[in-house]
């Protein structure tokens, strides 16, 4: 594995590569969900690159950014078989600050976008930057962030980027909780309650009834809604925001 923390060095190295390259963009604090994306990339490509970059522009809550874990050395030890890790400083990713950005005017304003103003602008901006830098054959994203995945697919199509966006299934804990780096911030009591989100989503009840059940259980509910063949939900437990979704065809 070769670690790049300087983007000029990465660009020089990338210009010499010709074989199919898979790419997994992450914000670090890696878990089995991230590693499932990495494993798929390793199977489907000659080389695999992973980025580790905690993107400041997609955090609508500064305290959430400050609390986001950044265990770089631990993450590197988990990336067995990966060829390249790109972990640049924010100053290189945003050399002009946040003057230039990507904005989407419709899908980014609903669901999570309605509750996290500016989040998807930051996400799309950094993903476009990373795709331009890495120039992958395929890029891998988890279906847990389903709205994010759909926005990235739309951006890649709209800007004629020559790559395949691959959506990968949600990876869950044994009790059903969707894996997320934020799960580590749940208190023991919140962690015990959190799997109720997945359980209620899988009950085939109407969204309004599921939202009511979540509130009765102690969640603060942002939304529970059908969208593009999925039942999606976003909730809060204390300071931690959790999202999840299930395919309607499986209910």
Task: Name the domain count of the chain.
Answer: 2
> Where is the domain boundary, 168, 190, 206?
168
Spatial distance between the Cα atoms of 14 and 12, rounded to a whole number of angstroms = 6
Q: What is the pLDDT of residue 67?
A: 87
Give the model confidence (pLDDT) of 42-90 as tens digits: 999 999 999 999 999 999 888 889 988 899 999 999 999 999 999 999 9
Edge-to-edge strands of the sheet including 240-247? 220-227, 230-237, 240-247
Check whether residue 108 and residue 212 sit in a common domain: no
Give the model confidence (pLDDT) of 222-237 as tens digits: 999 999 999 999 999 9
Which residues form the domain of 157?
Answer: 2-168
Closest CA to 3 of 101, 95, 76: 76
Q: What is the pLDDT of residue 60?
A: 86
Spatial distance between the Cα atoms of 147 and 113, rounded to a whole number of angstroms = 9
Contacts of 128 (CB under 8 A, 6+ apart): 102, 155, 159
The dihedral sign for the CA sequence 185, 187, 191, 197: negative
* pTM for this model (two decimals): 0.96
Q: How confident is the model at residue 113 (pLDDT cuts 50, 70, 90)?
A: very high
Check whether residue 80 and residue 120 sit in a common domain: yes
Q: Is residue 173 part of a domain?
A: no
Spatial distance between the Cα atoms of 63 and 128, rounded to a whole number of angstroms = 25
Q: Which DSSP helix (H) or strand (E) runs through 247?
A: strand 240-247
Q: Is the pLDDT of residue 20 over 90?
A: yes
Give the model confidence (pLDDT) of 124-167 as tens digits: 999 999 999 999 999 999 999 999 999 999 999 999 999 999 99
Check whether residue 233 and residue 161 sit in a common domain: no
Q: Is the pLDDT of residue 250 over 90?
A: no
Contact 47, 19 (CB under 8 A): yes
Contact 41, 24 (CB under 8 A): yes
Spatial distance between the Cα atoms of 221 and 236, rounded to a whole number of angstroms = 6
Check whether residue 146 and residue 91 sit in a common domain: yes
Q: Is residue 64 part of a domain?
A: yes
The mean pLDDT value of the chain amounts to 97
Check whether residue 15 and residue 135 sit in a common domain: yes
Q: Is residue 249 part of a domain?
A: no
In the predicted model, what is the mean pLDDT of residues 92-106? 97
In the predicted model, what is the mean pLDDT of residues 107-120? 97
Check whether residue 65 and residue 151 sit in a common domain: yes
State the catalytic residues: 34
Q: How confident is the model at residue 251 (pLDDT cuts 50, 70, 90)?
A: confident
Q: What is the pLDDT of residue 63?
A: 87
The residue count for the chain: 251
- CATH number of the domain where residue 194 is located: 3.30.1300.10
């Amino acid at each position: 594995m070769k670690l790049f923390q300087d983007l000029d060095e990465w660009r020089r190295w990338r210009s010499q590569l010709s074989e199919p390259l898979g790419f997994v963009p992450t914000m670090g604090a890696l878990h089995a969900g991230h590693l499932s994306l990495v494993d798929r990339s390793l199977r489907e490509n000659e080389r695999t690159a992973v980025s580790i970059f905690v993107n400041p522009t997609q955090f609508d809550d500064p305290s959430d950014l400050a609390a986001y874990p950044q265990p770089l050395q631990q993450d590197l030890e988990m990336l067995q078989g990966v060829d390249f890790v790109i972990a640049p400083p924010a100053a290189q990713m945003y050399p002009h600050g946040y003057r230039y950005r990507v904005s989407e005017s419709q899908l980014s304003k609903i669901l999570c976008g309605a509750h996290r103003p500016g989040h998807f602008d930051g996400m799309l901006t950094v993903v476009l930057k990373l795709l331009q830098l890495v120039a992958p054959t395929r890029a891998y994203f988890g279906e847990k962030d389903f709205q994010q995945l759909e926005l990235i697919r739309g951006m890649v199509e709209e800007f004629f980027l020559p790559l395949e966006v691959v959506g990968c299934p949600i990876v869950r804990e044994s009790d059903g909780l969707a894996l997320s780096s934020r799960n580590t911030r749940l208190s023991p009591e919140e962690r015990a309650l959190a799997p109720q989100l997945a359980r209620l989503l899988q009950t085939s009840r109407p969204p309004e009834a599921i939202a009511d059940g979540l509130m009765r259980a102690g969640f603060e509910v942002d939304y529970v809604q059908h969208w593009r063949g999925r039942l999606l939900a976003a909730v809060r437990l204390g300071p931690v925001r959790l999202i999840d979704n299930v395919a309607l065809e499986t209910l």
